[in-house]
Structure formats: structure tokens, C-alpha cells
């Protein structure tokens, strides 16, 4: 078995197959495993930093299951007492109250400054639509932008500007004008369906949640991970699949799982017909300050036409080993086409300025060090049509499978989607080998009103 790509999807697939007695070879062109969730030591401070800060949530059954297998599930700092802090004036903390979904967040949400009863009432139609959302709705909704849907459903402009624009940027990672309505409704449906949903943050480097454990699991079972050994082409030869490596060598495999970003797929598999996807680039900035500036772990800024950074993290409040340190702030500039032409110095200045909007103490803090990471793709940009074009696990080429957060998992692009895609690929191989086994976990059953009104799934 050959797995191309050592990110979450590729490693989840490889470990699942190795656990079932199959010998797997994983190849990746990078010298470091982890893909779009890798970590490394900052050269100046020695601190472990991530390609960009990530959020987990409590309903991630596949990724958390992968961590459980690797013995790292406890390496998450959860905040079950609240969902999120929004940087309004004053800040608004959203907590799940003792009410059935979708009402558990409503008492706090009703305190949102600048909105009145008519704005909240205008959300009712799209909320009802989200409560009843199923994958059967994707085909029609994916033809619309999120903004079209919200306006068609009568959502007021103040509600769109206050809530929906920030939501689009921080979860599906796209402005409403270019985000698929299907993507937004899937995300909103999940938020409404779980009263206890809460966020967690890696208590160590993001890659340390799965990379060391996966590499150890594979090595201990006789499988191999070849880093710095990229695959440039996969072709069918007789009854096998042949992979040509950058070194010029070749590997033959009975099965190949391509767990690579879509931009790499066309060159890897020229015979495979997969729709083109637009990437969402982002910029992640780390700021080391000379003092603590907040007690918060994580907060989101509300939308404004000039806003660059939306989600902020203080790693000194997240990582137990960093407790008592001065603030180390991580900030994400999502959909970074908006920052075209800005150099690293300008990005850092913007991050400091926007940090001080929420944490005024930061205005007097001294910046000790900063690093800026420019990432070509956070997720596939969820433009209209993207959901319909997400490819299935199986391809038209026998024994050639796809994995990745952007494939058809019925999940938003995320580490959960990536892990699930890896398990789906492993399931397909086991089925073909006459050893069918369910590895991927379905979503946690919804609760409250959504459970009652949602049409039954297929």
C-alpha cells in the first residue's frame, strides 16, 4: 500500500491499515510530516509554533478518535464553560445555557450590541432551514452564495454585518460574497445541533497531537514513512499502480491513496478527472510580548471592511507548560488575498493594532519577536459549486483512492474532515480485500429541536 502525503488524512489512513496487518509506505515531498497541520521550533525563541493556530471542537469524532489511538487525546486544552468571546464593545461571551438546541446560546446572543428584536427575528427562516439541513440539500444550495441565501431568507443587513460576515471568515474561511450557501448551512447546522459543543486548543504543538505517535505506530508495525521523497507521477501498469519518485526511482503498489492538496493532484495523476479548486491562502502571525495582555485563550474580532485578523489566541493561556509566561499571541489573517502587497512588517503592525482593540494593555507592551507564516492553502475556498465538485474516495482508476479534507466527507474542511477521509480510504481498501470494517465515525447525533425537525438521513 502506498500513501502519498503525510498530513492528517494520509497518516490516519496509513495507521488504520497498519493496525490491520497491512504494510504501508508513506511518501511526502516535505522533510517534515504533518502537512497543513505541522509544527516546528521557532528559530529565535525555540518555542514550538504551528503553521497556523487551529481549533478543535468537542464533536470531532474522527480526529479525536485518531488521537485516542495515538495516546494523545489528553493533549488538548478545552474550554467547556463557554463557546467563544466576541470582541464587541463590550466583549460578548457566548455560553451554552440549560436550554435545548438551538436555544442554548440564545440568552447571550440576545445581548449583542447594536441589534434589535427585528434583527433577531430576521434570522428565523435561515435558522429553520439549518435545523432541517441534510446532505440532500447541498445540490441546490451550492448554486447560491451565502450572501444570496441570507438576503433571500430575509436576514437583516445589521444581522448579516454583525454575525454572518464574521462567521463566514472564521469558520468556512471565506467572505459571504464568495462562500457557498451549502457550506455555510452545514456549519450553522452543526453549531445549532449540539448544546455542549465547545472548542479546544492544542496544549502542545499542533503537529505533536498526531505526527510523533503516527510515525511510531507505523515504524513499530513494519511500515515506512519516507520524508523528503516526493511522488511526481502515479500510473497504472498492468495490474498494479506505479509511482515515480522525485529521485527517479519507482514504487509498485497494489493500492495507492493520494492524500495531497488538490493543487498537487493534477501533476500526480494526469489521467484523473478532478475539478479545479481555488485555494484559500492565509497568513499566521506570532507575537512575543514583554507582558501578559489578556486572560483569554481565544477570541474573535467582528467583521469590518478593513479588518485583517479575525481569530486571536494567547498561547501562554493555552499551553500548560507556558503558564505564567508573558503573552505569546497567534493571529490568523484568513483569505489573505486581502493583504496583497503587504510585507511582514505591515502584517505585524496590523496584528498588534487589532490585538489592542480587544486587549488595550497590548498598546503599551513591547514586541520582543514576531514571525509571519504565509500559507498557500488553509482550505479549499468554498465558492459556489465547490461542494458538488468534492470528489468521492474512490476514483475511476481501480485501487486508486483519494483522501483529504477537501474530498466528499459531508464535513466542513477541517482536521475532522481530513481524518474521516483517511478512514474512508482505508475502509475502501479493506472492502476490496474482502475484510470490510467500519472505521470512520458518523457525526454525533443532534439534540434538541434539530433532532425533532430534521428529516431522517438516508
Q: Is 35 in the same domain as 111?
A: no
Res 81: pLDDT: 85
* 3-state SS track over 333-354: EECHHHHCCCCHHHHHHHHHHH
Report d(CA 146, CA 9) in Å as an integer.
28
The residue among 336, 358, 380 that closes a domain is: 380
Is 396 found in the same domain as 273? yes
In a domain, 90, yes or no: no
340 and 371, same domain (yes or no)? yes
Has residue 53 been placed in a domain? no
- pLDDT (tens digit, 9 = 90+) per residue, 8-64? 999 999 999 999 999 999 999 999 999 999 999 999 999 999 999 899 999 999 999
- Does 344 lie in the same domain as 324? yes
Q: Could you tell me if residue 326 is inside a domain?
A: yes
Nearest in space to 250 (alpha carbons), one of 265, 225, 233, 238: 233
- Give tens-digit pLDDT for 49-81: 999 989 999 999 999 999 999 999 999 999 988
Residues 368 and 393 in one domain: no
Digit-coded pLDDT (tens) for 96-143: 998 888 888 999 999 999 999 999 999 999 999 999 999 999 999 999
Q: Which of 135, 167, 194 is the last residue of a domain?
A: 194
Residue 450, domain member (yes or no): no
CATH number of the domain within which 316 lies = 3.90.660.20
Residues of the chain scoring pLDDT < 70: 448-452, 454, 456-458
Q: Domain range spanning residue 337? A: 279-380
Whether residue 173 is contained in a domain is answered as: yes
- pLDDT at site 444: 75
Strand pairing of 256-258 and 2-4? Answer: parallel
Same domain, 316 and 342: yes
Neighbour-count burial of 423, counting CB atoms closer than 10 A to its CB (0-12 exposed, 13-18 middle, 19+ buried): buried
pLDDT (0 to 100) of residue 445: 75
Structural domain total, the chain: 3
CATH number at residue 31: 3.50.50.60
Residue 452: what pLDDT? 65
The answer to the question of residue 260 being in a domain is yes
Of the residues 361, 380, 399, which one is the last residue of a structural domain? 380
Confidence (pLDDT) at 451: 65
Q: What residues contact residue 266 under an 8 Å CB cut-off, 6+ apart?
A: 274
Of 367, 272, 289, nearest to 328 (Cα)? 289
pLDDT at 273: 81
What's the pLDDT at 195? 77
DSSP per position, 76-139:
EEE-TT-SEEE--SS-EEE---SS-TTSTTHHHHTT-TT--HHHHHTTHHHHHHHHT--GGGHH
Q: Residue 52: inside a domain, yes or no?
A: no
Q: How many CA atoms lie within 13 A of 271 on its CB side?
A: 11
- Residue 38 maps to a domain: yes
Do 413 and 358 sit in the same domain of this protein? no
Q: Are residues 334 and 321 in the same domain?
A: yes
Are 337 and 288 found together in one domain?
yes
What pLDDT, on the 0 to 100 scale, is given for residue 120? Answer: 96
- 212 and 34 Cβ atoms separated by less than 8 Å: no
263 and 400 co-located in one domain: yes
Are 268 and 283 part of one and the same domain? no
391 plus 272 within the same structural domain:
yes
Amino acid at each position: 500500500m502506498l500513501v502519498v502525503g503525510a498530513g492528517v488524512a494520509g497518516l490516519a489512513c496509513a495507521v488504520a491499515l497498519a493496525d490491520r496487518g497491512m504494510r504501508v509506505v508513506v511518501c511526502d515531498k516535505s522533510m517534515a510530516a504533518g502537512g497543513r497541520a505541522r509544527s516546528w521550533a521557532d528559530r529565535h525563541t525555540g518555542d514550538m509554533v504551528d503553521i497556523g493556530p487551529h481549533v478543535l471542537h468537542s464533536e470531532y469524532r474522527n480526529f479525536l478518535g485518531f488521537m485516542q489511538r495515538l495516546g494523545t487525546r489528553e493533549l488538548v486544552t478545552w474550554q467547556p464553560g463557554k463557546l467563544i468571546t466576541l470582541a464587541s464593545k463590550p466583549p460578548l461571551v457566548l455560553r451554552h445555557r440549560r436550554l435545548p438546541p438551538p436555544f442554548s446560546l440564545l440568552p447571550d446572543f440576545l445581548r449583542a450590541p447594536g441589534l434589535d428584536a427585528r434583527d433577531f427575528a430576521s434570522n428565523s427562516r435561515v435558522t429553520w432551514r439549518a435545523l432541517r439541513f441534510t446532505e440532500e440539500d447541498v445540490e441546490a444550495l451550492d448554486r447560491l452564495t451565502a450572501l444570496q441565501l441570507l438576503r433571500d431568507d430575509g436576514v437583516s443587513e445589521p444581522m448579516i454585518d454583525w454575525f454572518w460576515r464574521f462567521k463566514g471568515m472564521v469558520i468556512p474561511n471565506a467572505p459571504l460574497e464568495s462562500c457557498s450557501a451549502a457550506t455555510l448551512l452545514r456549519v450553522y447546522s452543526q453549531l445549532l445541533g449540539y448544546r455542549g459543543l465547545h472548542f479546544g486548543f492544542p496544549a502542545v504543538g499542533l503537529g505533536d497531537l498526531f505526527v510523533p505517535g503516527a510515525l511510531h505506530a507505523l515504524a513499530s508495525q513494519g511500515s515506512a514513512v519516507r520524508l523528503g521523497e516526493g511522488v511526481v507521477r502515479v500510473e497504472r501498469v498492468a495490474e498494479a499502480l506505479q509511482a515515480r519518485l522525485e529521485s527517479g526511482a519507482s514504487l509498485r503498489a497494489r493500492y495507492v491513496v493520494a492524500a495531497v492538496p488538490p493543487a498537487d493532484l493534477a501533476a500526480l495523476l494526469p489521467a484523473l478527472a478532478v475539478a479545479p479548486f481555488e485555494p484559500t491562502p492565509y497568513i499566521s502571525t506570532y507575537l512575543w510580548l514583554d507582558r501578559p495582555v489578556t486572560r483569554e485563550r481565544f477570541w474573535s474580532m467582528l467583521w469590518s471592511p478593513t479588518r485583517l485578523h479575525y481569530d486571536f489566541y494567547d498561547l501562554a493561556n493555552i499551553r500548560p507548560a507556558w503558564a505564567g509566561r508573558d503573552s505569546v499571541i497567534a493571529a490568523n489573517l484568513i483569505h489573505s488575498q486581502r493583504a496583497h502587497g503587504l510585507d511582514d512588517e505591515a502584517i505585524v503592525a496590523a496584528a498588534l493594532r487589532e490585538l489592542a482593540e480587544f486587549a488595550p494593555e497590548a498598546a503599551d507592551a513591547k514586541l520582543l519577536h514576531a514571525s509571519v507564516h504565509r500559507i498557500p492553502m488553509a482550505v479549499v475556498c468554498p465558492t459556489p459549486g465547490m461542494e458538488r465538485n468534492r470528489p468521492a474516495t474512490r476514483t475511476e482508476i481501480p485501487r486508486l483512492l483519494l483522501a483529504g479534507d477537501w474530498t466528499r466527507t459531508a464535513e466542513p474542511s477541517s482536521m475532522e474532515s481530513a481524518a474521516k477521509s483517511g478512514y474512508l480510504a482505508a475502509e475502501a481498501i479493506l472492502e476490496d480485500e474482502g475484510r470490510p470494517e467500519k472505521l470512520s465515525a458518523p457525526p454525533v447525533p443532534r439534540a434538541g429541536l434539530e433532532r425533532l425537525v430534521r428529516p431522517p438521513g438516508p
